[in-house]
Amino acid sequence: MEVAVKIKRFNRESGSGPYYEDFKVECDEHEMVLDALIKIREYQDQSLALRCSCRSAICGSCAMRVNGHAGLACNTKITDALARSDTIVVEPAGNTTVVKDLVVDAKPFWEKIGKVQPWLSPVGPTPDHEYIVDNADMLALNQVMGCIMCGACVSDCTVLEVDKRFLGPAALAKALRFAGDPRDGIQAERLQTLGQPGGIWDCTHCFECVQVCPKGVAPMDQILELRRKAVEQGFVNNNGARHAESLANSVKRSSWLDEKRLIVESYGFRNVGALLGLIPTALRSLLARKMPPLFHHKRPGADKVKRIFEKLESK
Amino acid sequence: MKYAWYPGCVSQGACPELFKATLAVADKLEIELVELKEAACTGAGILSERNPELSDTLNARTFAMAEKLGLPIMTICSTCQGVMSQANFKLRNDPDYLAKVNETLALEGLEYKGTTKVSHLLWIIVEDIGLDKVEPLVTRPLTGVKIAPFYGCYILRPTMFLDFEGHPERDTYIEQITTTLGGIAVDYSGKTRCCGFPILTMNEKASYAMSGDHLIEAKEEGADVMVTPCPLCHLNLDAAQPKAARQKKVQIGLPVIHLPQMLGLSFGIPPKKLGLNRHIVNTKSFVAKVPA
């Protein structure tokens, strides 16, 4: 079959901006997008730059955007990529600096991985033999250990698009790999650091990383696990932890959200600046009669909901 | 058509106009709604962060109530839909987990058997009612009006929980409805991205940057109005728009409306009855563009 491929090209040395180039390439139905790209490079334009190595979704080199979403070109079937479009659009990974065509600068990615101290830091005396770990503890880390560092999650992270400080899904998932390991001795320090701006509370729950991860790591789920651990360890003096606490209390009390109280409690009563900043929006909402009820009331059945909370929170 | 209606917290809180518009439109679409008045909040994806079983149990309780009525659930919020879809997927695919959750539901004599279907109004219009049945209801077509869709993350991702395998075009339904109502769907990259609402109190600047970027992009693509099936997105795109514009140092002024308001207007329902006067960004410019 003849496949139409549109590739986003860029050559820093040329001095001109990025542009799209159309190719037609003969492919078999069972082939992957990477096969099409390699054929284009081998037989049509040797200047096309791309990274690839294992061709088996193990090395993580060929992460790029196919039809607007990040993934590995080597495990994206051509037929799947053509399911809803006549042309396969291939672009470099997002949230990165493009070096040439589909090759991006990986340095910032590795710098962020480095920031989470991706190694075990045991404390106490070294055991005579190996460190013994419970099987169940390691099974809990299986999912996150499946990460191949391809950066697909980072490419499509919506927070990184607007805030480069954010550690991002790959680094935070890697942080859980060590913060969740029973051999690690600095879990509290890790969680405290990860709770700072740019860390776990800056994830926006957009599920992009869960959707595009080619290895089922679900980085966002790992970030939420870090949040759970941070709260368990008492690192609750931040807007994210306060927001979660306020929401849970509101549902427990009344069975639904007390939106006015939620926003005030999230910022914290002492955060006068942020609370004053709410006044213009509150006034505009009041004028538009776009406000929650003045007095938050209990929903019918709220007592039953409270009983569920009491049973499951005590576990 | 009859549904167990789950209006969600925000349509009864900061977006009362959504509640009102839904009732008006349901009437025209001949959808009979039985409101689940005792149902609790879904947990909004936040409660599950602290205690997944607690969040899933509250949702199972809602599913059990609808099951008892023998009705599918209708939601009007992308976030409610996503959280419920995820909970339902887990409960339906793990009998041991379902049994464990049912032990708690037994406290009030409820049991969830795993049969409740949960659908957003957006899906119901296309899949259950059919666009061919909607078209004859249009008395005031949105001719010439450029409408930018904004879906909300929870109704799009992760696709495995939202049955995109069975309905792969669910990420085009707003555009399909727009065209059916006579409007012009605006294509722009931000339509499936995040509005930024979940991090409003954690990283305000990033939150406004997200909503601001999408609003500006939609406007640059020629949008007269933005439409969303998610009231949480609505809060960050409409209520927070003045702050996003200030941060971006531009005038935006793009009206943002709820899905049932778009439907209602084209069905000839008066704008006031749809609550179109209860927005932060004035919707008059948009309403004026719709030929009377």
* Chain A residues within an 8 Å CB radius of B46: 243-244, 247-248
pLDDT for residue A274 is more than 90: no
In terms of CA atoms, which chain B residue is nearest residue A83?
Answer: B168
SS (H, E, C) chain B: CEEEEECCCHHHCCCHHHHHHHHHHHHHCCCEEEECCCCCCCCCCCHHHHCHHHHHHHHHHHHHHHHHHCCCEEECCHHHHHHHHHHHHHHHHCHHHHHHHHHHHHHHCCCCCCCCCEEEHHHHHHHHHCHHHHHHHCCCCCCCCEEEECCCHHHCCCHHHCCCCCCCCHHHHHHHHHHHCCCEECCCHHHHCCCCHHHCCCCHHHHHHHHHHHHHHHHHCCCCEEEECCHHHHHHHHHCHHHHHHHHCCCCCCCEEEHHHHHHHHCCCCHHHHCCCCCCCCCHHHHHHCCC
**Could A231 and B50 be called an inter-chain contact, meaning their C-beta atoms sit closer than 8 Å?**
yes
**Average pLDDT over all residues of chain A:** 95
More confident position, B291 or A7: A7
Which of A255, A285, A289 faces B41 most closely, judged by CB atoms?
A255
* Chain A residues within an 8 Å CB radius of B168: 83-84
Min distance B72 CA to chain A CA atoms (Å): 21
**Could B44 and A247 be called an inter-chain contact, meaning their C-beta atoms sit closer than 8 Å?**
yes
Q: What pLDDT is recorded for position A294?
A: 85
**Could B108 and A207 be called an inter-chain contact, meaning their C-beta atoms sit closer than 8 Å?**
no
Question: In the structure, what pLDDT confidence band is assigned to residue A270 with cuts at 50, 70 and 90?
Answer: confident
DSSP B153: G
**Could A158 and B194 be called an inter-chain contact, meaning their C-beta atoms sit closer than 8 Å?**
yes
Report cis status (omega within 30 of 0) of the bond before B149. no
Cβ-count burial of A268 within 10 angstroms (0-12 exposed, 13-18 middle, 19+ buried)? middle
> Which of B199, B204, B207, B280 to mutate to test binding with chain A, by most A CBs within 10 Å of its CB?
B199
**Could A290 and B243 be called an inter-chain contact, meaning their C-beta atoms sit closer than 8 Å?**
no
**Could B201 and A247 be called an inter-chain contact, meaning their C-beta atoms sit closer than 8 Å?**
no
Q: How many CB pairs under 8 A join A and B?
A: 184
Question: In the structure, what pLDDT confidence band is assigned to residue A15 with cuts at 50, 70 and 90?
Answer: confident
Determine the Cα–Cα distance for residues B16 and B18; give it in Å rounded to an integer: 5
Min distance A277 CA to chain B CA atoms (Å): 10
pLDDT for residue B128 is more than 70: yes
B72 half-sphere exposure, CB direction, 13 A CA radius: 15
Q: What pLDDT is recorded for position A315?
A: 64
pLDDT for residue A188 is more than 70: yes
**Could A304 and B107 be called an inter-chain contact, meaning their C-beta atoms sit closer than 8 Å?**
yes
Q: What pLDDT is recorded for position A314?
A: 78
* Chain A residues within an 8 Å CB radius of B107: 304, 307-308, 311
* Structure confidence by residue, pLDDT tens digits, B246-278: 999 999 999 999 999 999 999 999 999 999 999
* Structure confidence by residue, pLDDT tens digits, B177-219: 999 999 999 999 999 999 999 999 999 999 999 999 999 999 9
**Could A162 and B213 be called an inter-chain contact, meaning their C-beta atoms sit closer than 8 Å?**
yes
**Average pLDDT over all residues of chain B:** 97
In terms of CA atoms, which chain A residue is nearest residue B152?
Answer: A206
**Could B201 and A161 be called an inter-chain contact, meaning their C-beta atoms sit closer than 8 Å?**
no
Q: For residue B224, give the amino acid letter.
A: D
Helix, coil or strand: residue A168:
coil
ipTM tops the 0.90 cut: yes
Extract the tokens encoding A60: 């993580």
Please check whether residue B181 is in contact with residue B263, taking contact to mean a CB–CB distance below 8 angstroms. Answer: yes
The answer for A 84-103 residues in CB contact with B (under 8 A) is 84
* Structure confidence by residue, pLDDT tens digits, B34-93: 999 999 999 999 999 889 999 999 999 999 999 999 999 999 999 999 999 999 999 999
> Which of A161, A163, A204 to mutate to test binding with chain B, by most B CBs within 10 Å of its CB?
A204
Min distance A72 CA to chain B CA atoms (Å): 18
Considering only A5-14, A278-287, B281-290, which range has the smallest mean pLDDT? A278-287
Cβ-count burial of B198 within 10 angstroms (0-12 exposed, 13-18 middle, 19+ buried)? buried
In terms of CA atoms, which chain B residue is nearest residue A225?
Answer: B49
* Chain A residues within an 8 Å CB radius of B43: 247, 251
> Which of B11, B35, B37, B49 to mutate to test binding with chain A, by most A CBs within 10 Å of its CB?
B49
* % chain A with pLDDT above 70: 100
Extract the tokens encoding B152: 């909300």
The model's pTM is: 0.96
Q: Does A208 touch chain B (CB under 8 A)?
A: yes
